[in-house]
Amino acid sequence: MKIYFDNAASTPLTTEVIEEMCSVMKENFGNPSSIHAFGREARVIVENARDTIAKCLGAMPSEIFFTSGGTEAINTVIRGYLMTSPVTHVVTSRLEHYAVLNCLEDIQKEKHIQIEYLPHDSKGNIDPGYLETALDGHPRSMVILMHANNETGNILPIREMGAICQKTGAFFLSDTVQTIGKVAVLPKSMNVDSVICSAHKLHGPKGTGFIYLSRSKKLHPLIHGGSQERNMRAGTENVPAIAGMAKALEIACADIDVHFLYISNLKTSMVHRLGNAFPYAEFNGNSGDNGLHSILSVSFPMTDKTEMLQYNLDINGIAVSGGSACTSGSAKPSHVISELKGEKDLVTLRFSFSKFNTPDEVEHCVNVMKRLLA
Ligand code: PLP
């Protein structure tokens, strides 16, 4: 039995997505910027994909810009805003993805910016009151806070935080990589200026994503060249990947409630089974009780047996993460777990689920863990 519980890192492609992409690769190889019939066919595919994505977000097609994935989307929005505006005050959190933290660190080498990291509790919750205080006296700021954390699944009250940003005129980017296609992400009702997506987290292809940018906002492009994406992102569009991403999001949004319930039940079953088998294990963030239904993070005290747990699960055909994909291969705890738990000697596993997992897989995984830790 081979089990894949690392869906927050990447997901298997849905058959319909593969079929859609293969068909575009075979039939529609034209450059969407070419004006002949081959180019026009490819253009129609790109624009249909934009329409589909916009519908899923309750947005306008002109508010969607294609990128090579989540990291490029984040870098584009942050740099595109900070490097060309007089804004120097940034509010974020140390629990953000490295795409945010390292991008801001890099900008600091070129421009004086004051970065305020909002405090969080031991579970990773951030009180919106702290945001209000941080923005007080700053008529223009940039706020970057993720919708759900990719390691703990903690969900932030983005709508409430967005309302605070709107009151003070701050630009608000929310990293929705882990939530788009899993819970409703409707930027207008969430009071955000920008959200981003990475297709490979929702059964779409790697290396493609998009930015939603409210039509009331403008950004300077990160990548310069041709006039693609209305001068916002130069470079020939990855037509098959864009078509695949739109198909993946369409499928995810059509059945969002069904998948939510199914995946929530898998996670609840895992929480109960792990809790019964290993009462000394700690669920990180809010992942043991609520949090995003697809992510469960659990820490074990470091022992000879737990130290090798991720490796031994892999030997037994079970793929889990030791933190996040970005830190895999490193024995160090991830920056998120270190922020929440300090430098304690712990072994952390992240289980992340998709609609392709089954209750039998959950049961089998916990049985293997019981054997490994006996
Ligand atoms: N933001 C979050 C929360 C993520 O989980 C990831 C990927 O793990 C990214 C951004 C980066 O996305 P991509 O892999 O498309 O560059």
Instruction: Give all strands (DSSP E) within the chain, no chain letters.
Output: 3-4, 64-67, 89-92, 114-117, 142-144, 171-174, 194-198, 209-213, 282-283, 295-301, 318-319, 346-352
- Rounded to whole angstroms, how far apart are CA atoms 32 and 47? 10
Whether residue 196 has pLDDT greater than 70: yes
pLDDT higher than threshold 90 for residue 149: yes
CA of 8 from ligand 1 middle (Å) equals 9
pLDDT at residue 344 tops 70 = yes
Res. 331: pLDDT tops 60: no
The reply to whether 203 and 263 lie within a common domain is: no
Residues 323 and 355 in one domain: yes
Instruction: Tell me, yes or no, whether 246 and 140 share the same domain.
Output: yes
- Across all residues in the chain, what is the average pLDDT? 95
Mean pLDDT of 153-159: 97
Percent over 70 (pLDDT), the chain: 97
Residues 338 and 247 in one domain: no
209 lines ligand 1 (CB under 6 A): yes
Task: Tell me if 124 sits within 8 A of 285, measured CB to CB.
Answer: yes
What does DSSP assign to residue 206?
S
**Residue closest by Cα to atom 14 of ligand 1:** 70
Phi and psi based region of residue 276 (left: phi greater than 0; alpha: psi -120 to 50; beta: remaining): alpha
Distance CA 334, CA 347 (A): 11
Per-residue pLDDT at 326: 46
| pLDDT confidence bin for 342, thresholds 50/70/90 | confident
308-325 mean pLDDT? 89
CB of 242 closer than 6 A to ligand 1?
no
Contacts for 371 with CB less than 8 Å, ≥ 6 apart: none
Q: C-alpha 297: how far from its chain's center? A: 16
- Indicate if 326 belongs to the active site: yes
For residues 48-56, give the mean pLDDT. 98
The alpha carbon of 200 and the centre of ligand 1 are apart by a number of angstroms equal to 9
User: In a mutational test of the pocket of ligand 1, which residue from 101, 201, 238, 245 has the highest number of ligand atoms less than 8 Å from its CB?
Assistant: 201
> Which one of 194, 222, 254 terminates a domain?
254
Ligand 1 neighbourhood includes 79 CB (under 6 angstroms): no
If one compares 44 and 334, the residue with the highest pLDDT of the two is 44
Same domain for 129 and 203? Answer: yes
pLDDT per residue as tens digits for the range 74-89: 999 999 999 989 999 9
Ligand 1 atom with least separation from CA of 146: 3
Based on the domain organization, do 271 and 239 belong to the same domain?
Answer: no
Query: 3-class DSSP state for residue 166?
Result: helix
Residue 149 Cβ contacting ligand 1 at under 6 Å: no
Residue 323 is predicted with a pLDDT of 61
- Is residue 323 within 8 A of residue 151, CB to CB? The reply is yes
Strands 171-174 and 318-319: unpaired
Of the three residues 254, 271, 286, the one that is the final residue of a domain is: 254
Same domain, 220 and 199: yes
Query: What average pLDDT does this structure show over 307-334?
Result: 79
Shared-domain flag, residues 209 and 344:
no
CATH code of 134's domain = 3.40.640.10
**Same domain flag for 24 and 58:** yes
Question: Is residue 320 over pLDDT 60?
Answer: yes
- Helix 239-254 crosses helix 256-277 at what angle (to 10 degrees)? 80
Q: What is the 276 CA–ligand 1 centroid distance (Å)?
A: 32
> Given a cut of 80, is residue 374 above it in pLDDT?
yes
Q: Which of 230, 254, 278 is the last residue of a domain?
A: 254
Tokens representing 127 are: 């009180």
Query: Which of 93, 152, 177, 179 best tests ligand 1's pocket when mutated (most atoms within 8 Å of CB)?
Result: 177
Pair 276, 235 in one domain: no
Atom of ligand 1 nearest to the CA of 198: 15
Q: For residues 119 and 154, state if they share a domain.
A: yes
Instruction: Please work out whether the CB of residue 204 comes within 6 Å of at least one atom of ligand 1.
Output: no
One-letter-per-residue 3-state SS of 186-253: CCCCCCCCEEEEEHHHCCCCCCCEEEEECCCCCCCCCCCCCCHHHHCCCCCCCHHHHHHHHHHHHHHH
From the list 22, 165, 197, 326, the catalytic residue is 326
Based on C-alpha coordinates, what's the Rg of the chain? 21
Q: For residue 352, what is the domain's CATH number? A: 3.90.1150.10
Buried b (16+ CB within 10 A) or exposed e, 83-120: eeeebebbbbbebbbbbbbebbeebeeeeeeebbebeb
- Count CB-CB contacts under 10 A for residue 257: 10
Q: Find the domain containing 43 and state its range.
A: 15-254
pLDDT, one tens digit per residue, over 255-291 is 999 999 999 999 999 999 999 999 999 999 987 888 9
Residues 76 and 159 placed together within one structural domain of the fold: yes
Closest ligand 1 atom to Cα of 68 = 15
CB-facing half-sphere around the CA of 299: CA atoms within 13 A: 23
- Report pLDDT for 283: 96
Amino acid 121: pLDDT: 94
pLDDT of 324 higher than 50: no
Q: State the pLDDT confidence band at 328, using cuts at 50, 70 and 90.
A: very low
Report the half-sphere exposure of 121 (CA within 13 A, side-chain side). 9
Single-letter amino acid, residue 307: E
Instruction: Give 198 Cα–ligand 1 centroid separation in angstroms.
Output: 7
Can you tell me the distance from the alpha carbon of 332 to that of 212, in angstroms, rounded to the nearest whole number? 34
Structure confidence at residue 327 as a pLDDT band (50, 70, 90): very low
Would you say the CB of residue 99 lies under 6 angstroms from ligand 1? Answer: yes
pLDDT in tens, 113-148: 999 999 999 999 999 999 999 999 998 999 999 999
**Per the structure, how many domains does the chain have?**
2
Query: Could you tell me which residues are beta bridge partners of residue 136?
Result: none
Residue 325 — very low, low, confident or very high, per pLDDT cuts 50/70/90?
Answer: very low
- Per-residue pLDDT averaged across 86-111, rounded? 97
User: Does 325 contact ligand 1 (Cβ within 6 A)?
Assistant: yes
